[in-house]
Amino acid sequence: MTYIPDRVRVKVWTEAAGRCQFNQCNKPLWYNELTLSERNFSEMAHIIGASEGGPRGSEQLSDELAQDPENIMLLCDRCHKEIDDLILRDNYSVVLLKKMKTDHTNRVRMLLDQSSKKTRPLIFTTDIGGQKSMFGDRSIQSALLPDYPDRISENWFKIEIGKFDRTKLIEWESVKNKIDDNFESVERALSSGSINHLSIFGLAAQPLLMWLGRKLGDKISAQIFEPRRTDDLEKKWNWDIETETKIEFNISKIKESKTKNIILLMALSDYLGKDKYANMLDEDAHVYQITIDNPTQGFLTQKTEKALFIKTCRSLLNRIQLEVGKDCIIHTLPAMPASLAIEFGRLIQPTKDPKIWVYENITGDKPEKIIELI
């Protein structure tokens, strides 16, 4: 084995931020992800072989570059074996490995040059359509960048409900109570000062997401992420790079009434035609709507779009109170992205806003009153 001085090892390790530099591996090498035991699990791998007869060896350059940090990659044992394997090594040229090292090093420098903060992820899931919601630690860590979790994933806040019978109102109430119980640990951590920022990842029925947002409120410093439809699971929660948004949230009043009842349609991920809400209430009601052109799933891709929704929705709630009065009752029927459901719950002001109920069609007959937000 070629001798590599400590000063060279430190330089290679530091520039790699202690992670495998093989393309898209990025495995942390200071602990075992399975057992969580801590030690140095890294290996030093030569790009141009340390000897002429080694992988990618060179008669002219092997000896000269054997201790050059620019010729050494930090790798995990599996990736090291991959690039040096007798059968596979031809797939990994000097040019390709140098590019991997450079790309990884540049990414580390870019991230560390940005301002960042510690945050505690909060994951909220229920089974949807009989299938368990899948969350990968890597996808969450990727979405947080340049911020970073203050604890390893085992110590993140997790509210995992699993399967429940959506056709029974008593089951919804039980899940709501579980959210309340689990949220107590979040409140304790916030009040003790052990955390001061949350990152929320939610994938559940919309009334429950709204209730989670209601628990969070707007006094807690938090960022809300949106699940994406993508085959690249590592980017499932990543926002797109900001460009000029083309999304406009449109507010309209569809129907006037003499009552104090309001039906609020949030037709963002789907259309909510009259057939969806006609038998929602037993008495007459005003009907307001917030929507976009061509409502569809997956339209929300940028943080600025989420911020625009919050502003528009707050304006709508103010308008409803101005036109109908604070003593009205708002009956909300949502078809909206997960992050916006949470944000709607957060923007509600208990001392300012009227009573708000959230509905969902759980039996196929008509929307049912599920959760009272205020």
Is 240 a member of any domain? no
Distance, in Å, from the CA atom of 37 to the CA atom of 32, rounded to the nearest integer, reads: 5
> In a 10 Å sphere around its CB, with 0-12 CB exposed, 13-18 middle and 19+ buried, how is residue 308 labelled?
middle
Instruction: Identify the domain boundary among 113, 135, 165.
Output: 113
φ and ψ at residue 148, rounded to 5 degrees: -150, 150
Same domain (yes/no): 28, 122: no
Same domain (yes/no): 156, 95: no
Same domain (yes/no): 71, 58: yes
Segments of the chain assigned E as strands = 43-46, 72-75, 118-125, 148-149, 157-160, 198-203, 222-225, 250-255, 261-267, 286-291, 329-335, 355-360, 368-372
> CA distances (Å), 284 to each of 196, 279, 319, 335, 338, in order?
45, 10, 20, 22, 30
Same domain (yes/no): 126, 101: no
Residues 6+ apart with CB under 8 A from 78: none
Instruction: Identify the domain boundary among 176, 211, 235.
Output: 235
Same domain (yes/no): 49, 95: yes
| Cα–Cα–Cα angle for 129, 235, 124, rounded to 5 degrees | 45
Per-residue pLDDT, 351: 92
For residue 22, the number of C-alpha atoms closer than 13 Å in the C-beta half-sphere is 21
Is 44 a member of any domain? yes
The residue behind tokens 């990968």 is 136
Per-residue pLDDT, 74: 98
The three-class DSSP label of residue 71 is helix
Same domain (yes/no): 191, 277: no
Q: Are 256 and 231 in contact (CB under 8 A)?
A: no
Domain that holds residue 203: 118-235
Is 243 a member of any domain? no
Q: Which of 208, 125, 212, 209 is nearest to 163 (CA)?
A: 125
Is 105 a member of any domain? yes
Same domain (yes/no): 272, 333: yes
Pairing of strands 148-149, 118-125: parallel
Is 82 a member of any domain? yes
Instruction: Identify the domain boundary among 65, 83, 113.
Output: 113
Same domain (yes/no): 190, 157: yes
Is 359 a member of any domain? yes
- Per residue of the chain (374 residues), give pLDDT as tens: 789 999 999 999 999 999 999 998 999 999 888 888 889 999 999 999 999 999 999 999 999 999 999 999 999 999 999 999 999 999 999 999 999 999 999 988 887 776 778 999 999 999 766 555 667 888 998 899 888 899 988 999 999 988 899 999 999 999 999 999 999 999 999 999 999 999 999 999 999 999 999 999 988 899 999 999 887 777 899 999 888 878 999 999 999 999 999 999 999 999 999 999 999 998 999 999 999 999 999 999 999 999 999 999 999 999 999 999 999 999 999 999 999 999 999 999 999 999 999 999 998 889 999 999 99
Q: Are 41 and 100 in contact (CB under 8 A)?
A: no
Same domain (yes/no): 94, 196: no
Per-residue pLDDT, 269: 97
Same domain (yes/no): 98, 125: no
Residues 6+ apart with CB under 8 A from 99: none
Q: Which two tokens stand for residue 186?
A: 């979040």
CATH number at residue 267: 3.40.50
Same domain (yes/no): 151, 125: yes
Terminal Cα-to-Cα distance of the chain (whole angstroms): 69
Per-residue pLDDT, 133: 60
Q: Are 268 and 338 in contact (CB under 8 A)?
A: no
Q: How many domains does the chain have?
A: 3
Same domain (yes/no): 169, 199: yes
Pairing of strands 250-255, 286-291: antiparallel
Is 241 a member of any domain? no
